[in-house]
Amino acid sequence: MLIVFRWWYFAGMAGVALFAHGAIESTLALKAGSEPIAVSVEDLASGKPLEQRWVTLGRHVALEPLGISWRAKRDRGSKVVYPLAEPGDPIVGALLQGKWKLKSELPGLDTCHVFALRGGTTLAKTTHDVAAIDGVVFDFDELSPNEQNLVTLAIPNVDRTKVRVLELGRRPEPLAIAVATLLAGNVLLYVAIRLFRARRAAKRSAAEPGVASS
């Protein structure tokens, strides 16, 4: 009985999720080209507007020892976040030489504004070079609350207005699929509203004496 009377709720929740996902992916798809554009950590850290959010980040160093992981139930949705730096950045040398006891002692820590975001629960214990990798770039305020928390845990005093996060391996969905998802969300929301109104009307009718016999 609960499932029958709660169809409006499940339809509404699914509609909201599909609508939100479709809206995000539609925005990315509209601004994305047929191929990712090449950028560097310096380009992302500069804060300059990007031609599109789908990028190929060139040679850089993954500062995974400074990263933070979050484990979800059954590892589904688990994520890690860690800073990225140019190969010649002083913080890279400090990490390689082990000349620090506290994270706050690292040179240039507060100027690390570019982060990587990926699924998983493990982080490497040492820094490592990455030749190139594709992904989609997001600003701090575009992240989920959980993702924002990971960034600020990794570098507590980071300037959030300058943060850019590269979600590794992500690419924009085709526009047709994104729009279809958006429309499906709208349809489910409409269905949820209709079901809710029908249920409320049925309750009112049942509560009014003499309605059924009139």
Q: Are 40 and 23 in the same domain?
A: no
Q: Are 177 and 95 in the same domain?
A: no
pTM for the full predicted model: 0.73
Residue 50 lies in a domain: yes
Q: Are 12 and 110 in the same domain?
A: no
pLDDT less than 50: residues of the chain: 1-4, 211-214
Report pLDDT for 2.
Answer: 45
Region of 106 please: left (phi>0), alpha (psi -120 to 50) or beta: beta
Report pLDDT for 140.
Answer: 95
In eight-state DSSP terms, residue 84 is: E
Report pLDDT for 168.
Answer: 95
Q: What is the C-alpha to C-alpha distance for residues 161 and 146, in angstroms, rounded to an integer?
A: 17
Helices (H), the chain: 2-5, 7-31, 41-45, 90-97, 145-154, 175-207
Residue 142 lies in a domain: yes
Q: By the 8 A CB rule, do 90 and 77 touch?
A: no
Q: By the 8 A CB rule, do 137 and 162 touch?
A: no
Report pLDDT for 171.
Answer: 82
Q: How many domains does the chain have?
A: 2
Q: What is the C-alpha to C-alpha distance for residues 201 and 197, in angstroms, rounded to an integer?
A: 6
Q: Strand 79-85 vs strand 164-168: parallel, antiparallel, or unpaired?
A: unpaired
